[in-house]
Each structure stands twice: as structure tokens, then as C-alpha cells.
Amino acid sequence: MGRYYQRPEYVVPDYQQAARIKQTLLEEKLVPPPPLPPLAFTDVQVQMPGLDIIHANRDWSRMNPVFVQTVLRVMATMKARGFAMVLLEGYRSPARQDALAAQSNHVTQAKGGQSKHQYGLAVDLAPMRNGKVVISERDAWAMQAYQALGEEAQAVGLTWGGNWSFKDFGHIEQPGSLKVLLGKK
């Protein structure tokens, strides 16, 4: 005696979230890198004055913490592949989003409230070479970095802007519609 009866057809369910919870507890929490000095953006600001990169928000704490960890893992993988990536912009206010959408150089098509940047679920990254941020799509090395970024972002389930008809090679974001992500009806 001392044993309990178990029906032979009973199978202990494998809950999907159990593996995810276990993985979350095991994962190391990555720390965002320190902010770059303004000098690192000098070439970009000269080449693309309409981008107004100096006023871009690079405060990691303004973004969704789970999304930040995913982005930091992508950045670590990119560094291992030989491409150090930096945050150009994370959180974006609705007013800044509207201003960028209104520019003639088509930085973005999304207006305030329509971009995942406003909800901390999107970032714009760029590779660093010799202490300087490189954004140019005409630079073969930078394009290799952006292609690698697309591969690594997609490998962890993020959406890469390089796949869009309106190419945004440095942009990665949480997949899904804002309505679903924000739980709106």
C-alpha cells in the first residue's frame, strides 16, 4: 500500500508559461550601456541635420523593461559578431513623433500615438565604428551591420524595419499591433 492510484491516461500538463518563467528567473538581467558623449554623434548630425539626433531620447528607463532586456541581448549578440550597436532613440514623445512625421525627408510615417516608440516598445539602433555612430546606408560596413541586426532581431522574435517597404534599417520593435500590445478594445 502507501502508493496512490493514478489513472493511466492522465498526463501532467506541460504549461507553456512554466518554461518561460523558469527561463526568466535564470536569465541574467543586462544593464544598459552608459550614454555616449555628444562627440560620437557629430558626423551623423552633420550628414543628417534634419534627424536632430542630439535631442533624441536615449533613456533606457523610459522603455518597457522586458523589451529592453531583449534589445540588450540583441546588442550583446551583435557585439559578438563584431558590430557594436548604440541606441539612437528609444522613447519618443508624441510631439517629437509628430515633428518627425511632418519632415520632408520622411524619417517616419507614423504620427504621435501611432508609433511603438511612444510606448517604449521600439528602438532605433546604429553601429559604431572608431568611436563614431555610422548611419549611412551607402556605407557597405554599416549595411552589413544592419543586415546582421535584422537577423538577430528576428531570431529573438522582434520586428525589423529593414523588412518594411519604407526601409528603416536601424529600427527594431515588439511585434504585434499597438491595440493588442496595449490591451485596448
In this structure, is residue 111 part of a structural domain?
Answer: yes
* Angstrom distance (rounded) from CA 68 to CA 120: 9
103-147: pLDDT as tens digits: 866 678 788 889 999 999 999 999 999 988 998 888 999 999 999
Owning domain of residue 103:
36-181
Q: Which three cell numbers stand for residue 81?
A: 559578431
In this structure, is residue 117 part of a structural domain?
Answer: yes
In this structure, is residue 136 part of a structural domain?
Answer: yes
Compute the half-sphere exposure of residue 119: CA atoms within 13 Å on the CB side of its CA: 17
1-51: pLDDT as tens digits: 566 665 666 565 666 666 666 666 666 899 999 988 888 888 887 777 777
41-55: pLDDT as tens digits: 888 877 777 777 878
How many structural domains does the chain have?
1
* Angstrom distance (rounded) from CA 108 to CA 38: 23
**What CATH number does the domain containing 96 carry?**
3.30.1380.10
